[in-house]
Amino acid sequence: MNFILLVAGGAFIIYALIYKPEMIVILLFTFVIAQINIYNLRPLLSLALVARILIDRSKQFRYPPFFSQPVVKVFIIFLLYGLFVSFWQNIFNTDLFKEYVYTVILTFCVYYYFFRLGNYNHLKMALIFAGLICFSDLAYTYVVYGSFPIHRIVNEIGGMPQNLSEEELDAMANWNLFGQVCGMCFVFVFQDYIRNRAANKISFLIMPIMLLGVMMSTSRSAIMAMLIVSLLIILNGINFSEHKRRLAKIGAFVTGAALVITLLYATMGKYINLDSKFIDDITNRLTQEPVAILKRAMGQSYNINDLGSMDWREESSENAYAAYMNLPFNEQLFGIGIRGFEVRNIGHGYNAHNAFLLLLIENGILGTLIYFIIIAGTIVQSILKKNMSPSLGVICFILIYGLGQNREWTGWTTFLFVFCIVAEIQFQRMEKKDKHYSLFSGKSVIKQGVSL
């Protein structure tokens, strides 16, 4: 069975590379976002795409060179800086170097194919497929196993759980990832549906599925990020009359979907193979923990047992902050190197669970400033250009989500959407120049006609 799949998959990849490279782009980005790397396909697909771009003799489109963009140059400086600090701290290795080279390849591919297609549909489709994969993995785990950790369908079909990478094992143990992917997909499709008149009914139906996926993951970080970004999208949308009707339609539909989801949680345990303690834990994570956190923040009495994982998450962030403050000034300024947090066991067995602190500890003040030049600069530029892109919503989601997580701010997925925004801004500039040139040429022709 595996041999047949390999042959069929290989034939498809070769055909798509020659005639439909966009399909390979979607497949690659789906694997990256959903953190799937079966048969080590991701690096193979990446290299194949780069080779396909280099030998492509039929380029019928114009695009500003990737490496000529100022933000790309700052991005390269950020990556080289991380490698240099890691080397300085004696924790540099070839895996880190390959990871950073791979990051550049991915960002180049998302930038290049945006101009080739003239839109972000390749990234949108990849995010939707990744969201459906993560939702399916959650549903499969609920129905078949009745409790966490996550069991991924692709691994069980392939029959290769013993060959999983460390990244894939982490994904199975960290069900927050599945809420993150579903939440990003919800935000992207929500924003795209509001601003894009061509958005179809499939996009409309994707939203309640992704909403259910976020709830099933029980990720409080994903729920909070999804709610905040959705509110920002709504506040921006009500300023435009053409968006109000779509907002009302989506609001009614999502509200109904939320009620259905609540009923499902109340009844699903009776009909499928769900452990009762598992359902109780989910209910506690989604209801009692947020209430306890709010009461503690307001200085009111609360039950410490209701805090659950939020108690030790706060402790891990406090440990990370204390560890940073105890570092020598030169390490506070320059950082301790990528993965230095784990190498030194700063968290005493815990991760930082705060992307900002982790960035600050490993990259230092200088590296953190470079990072925010990239991220904040891209966001501000997009807003100034009135480019309220769905990718912008995803970046905001990741920034909020990462405050309770770890390396999401510097992950591959983040930079995919950052450089999609960069491509959008450059594409808008090209269109503006073309319109200006056409208008100028038209006036010249009219003047010549009048003079004759």
pLDDT tens column, 327-363: 999 999 999 999 888 888 887 666 788 899 999 999 9
* Residue 416 vs residue 261, higher pLDDT: 416
370 with 287, same domain?
Answer: no
Residue type, 277: K
pLDDT at 304 over 50: no
pLDDT single digits (tens) 368-403? 999 999 999 999 999 998 888 899 999 999 999 998
211 occurs within a structural domain:
no
At 302 the pLDDT is 47
Mean pLDDT within 64-73: 92
409 occurs within a structural domain: yes
Backbone φ and ψ for 234, nearest 5 degrees, come out as -65, -45
343 and 296: one domain? no
- Of 73-87, 97-111, 207-221, 406-420, give the lowest mean pLDDT range: 207-221
pLDDT at 353: 81
Predicted local confidence at residue 289, as pLDDT:
59
Domain range enclosing 383: 78-89+310-445
Query: Rounded to whole angstroms, how far apart are CA atoms 185 and 208?
Result: 11
If you average pLDDT over each of 102-116, 206-220, 269-283, 285-299, which comes out highest? 102-116
Residue 323 belongs to some domain of the structure: yes
Examine residue 376 and state whether it is found in any structural domain, yes or no: yes
On whether both 302 and 413 belong to a single domain, the answer is: no
Q: What rounded mean pLDDT belongs to the chain? A: 80
pLDDT of 230 above 90: no
Considering 74-83, 202-211, 271-280, 298-307, the range whose residues carry the highest mean pLDDT is: 74-83
Percent of the chain with pLDDT over 70: 71
Q: How many domains is the chain partitioned into structurally?
A: 2
Examine residue 98 and state whether it is found in any structural domain, yes or no: no
- Confidence grade of residue 78 (pLDDT, cut at 50, 70, 90): very high
Residues 290 and 330 in one domain: no
What pLDDT was estimated at residue 69? 92
Q: Identify whether 375 is part of a domain.
A: yes
Say whether pLDDT at 88 is over 90.
yes
pLDDT band at 248 (very low <50, low <70, confident <90, very high): low
Same domain assignment for residues 411 and 348:
yes
Task: Choose among 334, 342, 341: nearest CA to 363.
Answer: 334
* Per-residue pLDDT, 440: 52
322 and 281 in a common domain: no
Contact 320, 357 (CB under 8 A): yes
The residue-averaged pLDDT of 115-124 equals 91
